[in-house]
Amino acid sequence: MWVPELVSNEELSSKQSRTHTQGDQMQYVISAENLTKTYGDVTAVDGISFNVPAGEAFGLLGPNGAGKSTTMKMIGGVSQRTSGSLSIMGLDPESHGPEVRAHLGVVPQQDNLDEELKVRDNLLVYGRYFGLPMSYLRPKADELLEFAQLTDKAKSKVDALSGGMKRRLTIARSLINEPRILLLDEPTTGLDPQARHILWDRLFRLKEQGVTLILTTHYMDEAEQLCDRLIVVDKGRIMAEGSPASLIREYSTREVLELRFGSERNATIGAELEGIGERLETLPDRVLIYAHDGEAALEQVSARGLRPLTSLVRRSSLEDVFLRLTGRSLVD
Amino acid sequence: MTEQSAPSVQGAGGRGPAAPALLRAHSPAVSAARARRWGSFYYAEQVLRVMKGYGWTIVMYGVGQPVAYLFAMGVGLATLVDTNSGAAFGGVSYLAFIAPALLISAAVMTAANEFTFPVMDGFKWRRVYYGPHASPLTPEQIASGHIMAVSLRFLLQSAIYFVVVALFGASPSGWGWVSVLVATLAGLSFGLPLMAYAASIKEDKGQFAMVMRFIVTPLFLFSGTFFPLDSLPLVVRWIGWISPIWHGTELGRVFSYGYEEAPLLTIAHVVFLVGLAVAGWMLTKRQFVRRLGQ
């Protein structure tokens, strides 16, 4: 088991004050102001601003194509912004690319492990890019393999690993330089539920060690589980910002009643449900009734003589927040 | 796995409880400074590790190809040629005449492999360039590291080739070993413009097979490889003039058996090869910066 290497708050803040420039970004490890990126006529990121303090798990939630990955690439110091300002640990990634990247651990959306090398060698080679000596890298690689639950795969070729294992190896690789900031771009996309839970557990442990996590996802459950605070992004703009709970409080009701009347009737039944709950959302496959008490709302529906094929009462989630803000679902 | 070790066991790899205290990465500032200085070497190390996976192929290619060619051409064909040619090959045996050409051609053909498919792999297939790109390394360093590793392969392979040639007695001059460097230069001169092209390809539509068929093969045949270039009609002689194989081969001949040509021509060969390599490097660098930075 990997024993977390705890850095005290004092040590952390003294590190930051060394690396930080004077001014209002003092307490933030990442600071973006009016960040914009255009590709030709397409504006991928449209003037977004946010600050991330040390140790926070900060999420960018939004559908595919919202500009999350582009934002991550700019934070990661691999893509240059079109306008606005950006500072990572007090450094501008445009002028201090290698210095900024030396602070980061990066888990890209698509795995780019070296499939021709063995699992452990992937970690060693990656550590060399940071100029780390082999005397450090060999034991560190073993530690990280343990952390990623891949010790018995150390000598396997990468292509022999499952999707979840590759993802964990990518995370292990991103930790080889002991970064204080970890960028995760859609870390669990394409994984089965069990693999996702293992991964979340590992990310939790990093968070406990005080690593700042920057995470993009289009899974609301992931955002709810992992993020202290998040921004909801759509079409390159920030739609809302806050903790998962406060966003749900602000933009949704406590509970949601989901009703299915069959694809033909869903669209037309809306009028008959008018007045039940605080708000009504009609989707192609179901009708959502937003109410403080979902069971009570369901009773009202029955009282009007309506018989849905299925009904479900659940707590509001970030999915509902997104639906409210954009009128669309997160996952199409 | 995790179950086997108690949470308090601190020494990874059984080093005892004191080990983790020593196990600390140096600061990001040190990482960045080292990467700025040595980054190309770090990436070259990675490419060499991958090459080690097919190291045996490299050695066999280095030994097997010259042995086969020299035996077939130099021993088989040469007995026929040498009795009939008189002084057509500058007064040396046919074996000595073709040996530098084969040495140079082998490097160019290796270049045609190492600067095409692996580059496509880096940008598209397995996206291996994007891993180091997220580290402190820069796109220029990734490109130059790749080039350094391949250059090392040129050197190794050409050195093996040269030893075989020398064993065949086909390098009479004491300066023959310089042709190892010439072969490396010729490999870069052909390979770097090709690398720039490979880095610009977004969609694989068999371009590299076309390069082999319609560029490498004609260059191999019409670069004064098996017969002096001036025995060709002018219509095709230009192929030799623009061919790194021809310029490299002529240089190789100067060193391996004292082939006599105007000194200005010798300088022109060097300038041509270096010029093409430098132009290729500039284009490659620009392509890498542009494509990785998107």
Q: Given a cut of 60, is residue B282 above it in pLDDT? A: yes
Strand A287-291 with A255-260, pairing: antiparallel
Q: pLDDT confidence of B54, banded at 50, 70, 90?
A: confident
Closest CA to B178 of B240, B253, B67: B253
Q: Given a cut of 80, is residue B193 above it in pLDDT? A: yes
B23–A151 CB contact, under 8 Å? no
Q: Which residues of chain A have pLDDT under 70?
A: 1-26, 329-332
In degrees rounded to 5, what are phi and psi of residue A8? -65, 160
B135–A151 CB contact, under 8 Å? no
* Separation between Cα atoms, residue B58 and residue B110, nearest integer Å: 9
Best residue in A128, A145, A173, A212 to probe B by mutation, most B CBs within 10 Å? A128
Confidence (pLDDT) at B118: 94
Sign of CA dihedral B102, B104, B106, B108: negative
- Name the residue with tokens 């605070």: A229
Reading the block at residue A169, the tokens are 């190896």
Q: Which residue of A has its CA nearest to B122?
A: A112
CA distance to partner chain A, nearest, from residue B149 (Å): 15
Residues whose CB is less than 8 angstroms from the CB of residue B58 and which lie 6 or more positions away in sequence, other chains included: B51, B153, B156, B157
C-beta of residue A30 within 8 angstroms of C-beta of residue A183: no
Q: Given a cut of 70, is residue B245 above it in pLDDT? A: yes
Residues whose CB is less than 8 angstroms from the CB of residue A172 and which lie 6 or more positions away in sequence, other chains included: A123, A144, A145, A147, A148, A150
Residues in A closer than 8 angstroms to B35, CB to CB, are 98, 102, 129-131
The DSSP result for chain B, as a single string, is -GGGS-TT---TTS--TTHHHH--PPPHHHHHHHHHHHHHHHHHHHHHHHHHHTHHHHHHHHHHHHHHHIIIIIIIIHHHHHHHHTTTTTTS-HHHHHHHHHHHHHHHHHHHHHTTHHHHIIIIIS-TTHHHHTTT--HHHHHHHHHHHHHHHHHHHHHHHHHHHHHTT---STTTTHHHHHHHHHHHHHHHHHHHHHHH--S-SSHHHHHIIIIIHHHHHSSSSSS-GGGS-HHHHHHHHT-HHHHHHHHHHHHHH-----HHHHHHHHHHHHHHHHHHHHHHHHHHHHHHT-
Q: What is the mean pLDDT of chain A?
A: 88
Q: What is the mean pLDDT of chain B?
A: 88
Summarised one tens digit per residue, pLDDT across range A150-177 is 999 999 999 999 989 999 999 999 999 9
Task: Decide if the complex's ipTM is over 0.90.
Answer: no
pTM: 0.86
Query: Between chain A and chain B, how many beta carbons pairs sit less than 8 Å apart?
Result: 143
The percentage of chain B sitting over the pLDDT mark of 70, rounded to a whole number, equals: 91
Please tell me the least confidently modeled range out of B159-163, B196-200, B233-237.
B233-237
Confidence (pLDDT) at A18: 40
A17 or B112, greater pLDDT: B112
Best residue in B121, B135, B141, B288 to probe A by mutation, most A CBs within 10 Å? B135
How confident is the model over B246-261, as a mean pLDDT? 93
Reading the block at residue B106, the tokens are 């082998």
How confident is the model over B220-230, as a mean pLDDT? 89
Q: Which residue of A has its CA nearest to B54?
A: A116
Residues in A closer than 8 angstroms to B16, CB to CB, are none
A140–B25 CB contact, under 8 Å? yes
CA distance to partner chain B, nearest, from residue A310 (Å): 44
Confidence (pLDDT) at A330: 61
Summarised one tens digit per residue, pLDDT across range A69-116 is 999 999 999 999 999 999 999 999 999 999 999 999 999 988 899 988
Residues 37-96 of A with CB under 8 A from B: 39, 76, 78-80, 89, 96
* Separation between Cα atoms, residue B198 and residue A74, nearest integer Å: 26
Confidence (pLDDT) at A108: 93
* Rounded alpha-carbon distances, angstroms, from residue A8 to A5, A11, B132: 10, 5, 30
In degrees rounded to 5, what are phi and psi of residue A66? -80, -15
Q: Which residue of A has its CA nearest to B126?
A: A112
B7–A112 CB contact, under 8 Å? no
Q: Given a cut of 80, is residue B15 above it in pLDDT? A: no
Residues 157-216 of A with CB under 8 A from B: 173, 176-179
- Inform me whether the C-beta atom of residue A4 falls under 8 Å from chain B C-beta atoms: no
Residue A139 is nearest to which of B5, B23, B38, comparing CB atoms? B23
Confidence (pLDDT) at A25: 42
Confidence (pLDDT) at A174: 96
B12–A142 CB contact, under 8 Å? yes
